């Protein structure tokens, strides 16, 4: 066969092959598009049917979802709050937002920049029109305590009284005097809570009496040589939420029930707001009991405060998130020191946490730069298969440095329990931070190495920072709801966030299991182990 004919035949064969392949591909693609289009139409039909079914169920009131027979709740045991209306005659004034403006001079008002208002116009401005509440809470509205339910669990749970304004007031706002006291250590957000209590009493409820700021904790009720009560006004507290600490000052100890009751009685205080931890709350409940025994129509409201986050039942204490955020600065500094100081740089950061490792643990998780985290709930093993020191040396050899975070209450299994206590009755803690620094240096030396260890203790810088945005919002809710509860006549209660809802909790229930600790068998500790990769010493 001539070469030209062979070439033509080959060209025809190739062309036919290409045509066949293209035809097959186009046919297959068309078939696939057809299948996908049918699947899409079927999905849209199913979605339309599902939406119509849900809409029909909503109209009929029929619940949606799968019925599971092994998870049930048939009883709710409500943690009732003691109500003054059952002991004393209430005023039963309808509760509305009075929107009362202040008539005192604003310290940030500059007369030269604006024409002064006349007395008549100031009087007009000071009386805002009342605004009805969009939502008033009934007494059996509650928030369930255990929202996670397991198969075959007992078919009952407890409930918290939901916080918020009630329809009728127990106290006549025109006759109310109030007092606020902060006790114990500092915490981000204290000023925010004070400010919101003052503003809610003065502006929302428009009370006619004074708001006493008790300086120096419980001492301020009676030790007038060193502490004098101050009158709090919206103008005085207008900008305190931008500052850390507490404008009232704080202290430990000083609790004298008779003198506190005398102060409340002589100053005709109707509502006392106590901001503090579990020990402070135990004192607040004793004041409540003293008022009841002496027939004093006084509402005692608590606001839980601790950067250790160790008050039980509530989701978190105010200031905790701000403290975790502030601790990041110390951890980053420790990492920088560890990286830059050779050889074998190690940064050790000691954070607060007497009996609970929440602050140290959450700071570790938020940082992501920590190689070893030591908490009060978890035993410390220095050497051996589960030893933290071999793990630390391994991390240094792997990356050239390491960062350690230790809670102040960790290490009692190593250093023993102190018999000494502070003014609040808290036991003094062993110096675990400096002890770990010494042990690390000693261990590396035994292995023929040198460890360059830098120790950072940011305790007071962490707890004295201003509240961040999240805590500021939380403090606003706490302050407002503490006032709502007290003005409604509830007493002997504390206010907090439970299952992301604001609730009232009886103080005896709150303190009965406080201080709480982190569960060493829980998921938080597992997350910490996943980050640090340290040995798990929990049995």
Query: Which tens digits make up the pLDDT trace of 92-145?
Result: 999 999 988 765 555 444 343 344 444 454 445 555 689 999 999 998 899 999
Q: Residue 281: name the closest of 183, 379, 211 by CA.
A: 183
Beta strand 75-79 with 156-162 is parallel
Q: What HEC string does 391-456 produce?
A: HHHHHHHHHCEEEEEEECCCCHHHHCCCCCECCCCCECCCCHHHHHHHHHHHHHHHCCCCCEEEEE
Beta-carbon-side half-sphere exposure of residue 471 (alpha carbons within 13 Å):
30
Rounded to an integer, what distance in angstroms lies between the CA atom of residue 449 and that of residue 441?
Answer: 9
Please provide the DSSP assignment of 249-309 as one string: ---S----HHHHHHHHHHTTEEEEEEEE-HHHHHHHHHHHHHHHHTT---EEEEEEB-TT-
Please give the pLDDT value at position 413: 77
Q: Which residues of the chain have pLDDT under 70?
A: 1-7, 102-128, 416-428
DSSP single-letter state for residue 488: T
pTM, whole model, 2 decimals? 0.84
Please give the pLDDT value at position 316: 94
First and final CA of the chain: distance in angstroms?
Answer: 89
Beta-carbon-side half-sphere exposure of residue 114 (alpha carbons within 13 Å):
7
Q: Residue 291: name the closest of 101, 529, 84, 85 by CA.
A: 84
Please give the pLDDT value at position 429: 75
Determine which helix (DSSP H) or strand (DSSP E) holds 181, and give its type and residue range: strand 177-182
Please give the pLDDT value at position 3: 57
Angle 279-142-152 from CA coordinates, rounded to 5°: 95
Q: Kindly report the backbone phi and psi dihedral angles of residue 503, in degrees, each rounded to the nearest multiple of 5, phi listed first.
A: -140, 165
To the nearest 10 degrees (0 to 180), the angle between helices 320-340 and 358-367 is 60
Residues noted as catalytic:
308
CB 227 within 8 A of CB 249: yes
Beta-carbon-side half-sphere exposure of residue 166 (alpha carbons within 13 Å):
26
Rounded to an integer, what distance in angstroms lies between the CA atom of residue 511 and that of residue 282?
Answer: 7
Angle 316-320-324 from CA coordinates, rounded to 5°: 130
Please give the pLDDT value at position 103: 57
Q: How many residues does the chain have?
A: 539
CA R_g for the chain: 32
Please give the pLDDT value at position 113: 37
Burial bucket for residue 531 (CB in 10 Å: 0-12, 13-18, 19+)? middle
- Count other C-beta atoms under 10 Å from residue 517's C-beta: 17
Tokens encoding 503: 């609730």
Burial bucket for residue 429 (CB in 10 Å: 0-12, 13-18, 19+)? buried
- In angstroms, what CA-CA distances link 80 with 141, 159, 160, 272, 508? 11, 9, 8, 20, 11
Tokens encoding 106: 């604003």
Q: Kindly report the backbone phi and psi dihedral angles of residue 269, in degrees, each rounded to the nearest multiple of 5, phi listed first.
A: -80, 130
CB 234 within 8 A of CB 227: no
- Count other C-beta atoms under 10 Å from residue 29's C-beta: 10
Please give the pLDDT value at position 418: 56
């Amino acid at each position: 066969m001539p070469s030209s004919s062979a070439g033509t035949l080959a060209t025809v064969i190739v062309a036919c092959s290409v045509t066949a392949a293209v035809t097959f591909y186009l046919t297959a693609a068309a078939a696939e598009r057809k299948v996908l289009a049918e699947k899409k139409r079927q999905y849209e039909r199913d979605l339309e049917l599902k939406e119509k079914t849900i809409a029909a169920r909503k109209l009929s009131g029929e619940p949606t979802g799968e019925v599971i027979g092994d998870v049930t709740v048939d009883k709710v045991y409500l943690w009732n709050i003691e109500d003054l209306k059952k002991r004393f005659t209430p005023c039963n004034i309808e509760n509305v937002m009075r929107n009362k403006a202040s008539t005192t001079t604003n310290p940030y008002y500059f007369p030269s920049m604006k024409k002064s208002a006349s007395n008549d116009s100031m009087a007009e401005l000071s009386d805002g029109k009342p605004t009805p509440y969009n939502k008033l809470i009934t007494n059996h509205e509650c928030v369930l305590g255990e929202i996670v339910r397991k198969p075959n669990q007992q078919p009952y749970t407890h409930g918290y009284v939901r916080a918020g304004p009630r329809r009728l007031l127990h106290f006549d706002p025109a006759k109310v005097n109030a007092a606020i006291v902060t006790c114990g250590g500092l915490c981000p957000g204290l000023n925010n809570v004070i400010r919101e209590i003052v503003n809610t009493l003065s502006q929302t409820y428009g009370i006619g009496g004074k708001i006493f700021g008790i300086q120096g904790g419980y001492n301020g009720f009676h030790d007038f040589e060193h502490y004098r009560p101050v009158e709090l006004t919206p103008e005085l507290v207008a900008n305190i939420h931008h500052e850390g600490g507490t404008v009232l000052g704080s202290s430990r100890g000083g609790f004298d029930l008779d003198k506190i009751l005398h102060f409340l009685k002589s100053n005709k205080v109707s509502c006392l707001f106590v901001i503090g931890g579990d020990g402070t709350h135990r004192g607040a409940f004793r004041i409540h009991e003293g008022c009841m025994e002496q027939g004093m129509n006084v509402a005692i409201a608590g606001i839980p405060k601790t950067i250790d986050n160790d008050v039980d039942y509530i989701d978190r204490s105010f200031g905790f998130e701000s403290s975790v955020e502030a601790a990041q600065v110390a951890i980053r500094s420790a990492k920088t020191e560890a990286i830059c100081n050779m050889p074998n740089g190690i940064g050790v950061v000691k954070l607060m946490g007497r009996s609970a490792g929440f602050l140290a643990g959450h700071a570790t998780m938020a940082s992501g730069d920590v190689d070893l985290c030591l908490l009060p709930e978890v035993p410390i093993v220095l050497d051996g298969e589960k030893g933290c020191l071999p793990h630390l040396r391994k991390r240094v050899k792997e990356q050239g440095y390491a960062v350690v975070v230790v809670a102040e209450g960790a290490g009692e299994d190593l250093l023993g329990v102190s018999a000494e206590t502070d003014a609040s009755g808290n036991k003094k803690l062993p110096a675990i931070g400096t002890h770990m620094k010494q042990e690390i240096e000693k261990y590396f030396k035994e292995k023929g190495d040198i460890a360059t260890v830098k120790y950072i203790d940011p305790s007071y810088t962490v707890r004295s920072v201003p509240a961040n945005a999240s805590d500021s919002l939380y403090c606003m809710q706490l302050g407002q709801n503490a006032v709502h509860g007290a003005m409604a006549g509830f007493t002997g209660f504390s206010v907090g966030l439970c299952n992301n809802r604001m609730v009232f909790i009886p103080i005896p229930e709150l303190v009965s299991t406080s201080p709480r600790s982190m569960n060493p068998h829980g998921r938080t500790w597992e997350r910490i182990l996943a980050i640090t990769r340290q040995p798990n010493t929990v049995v």
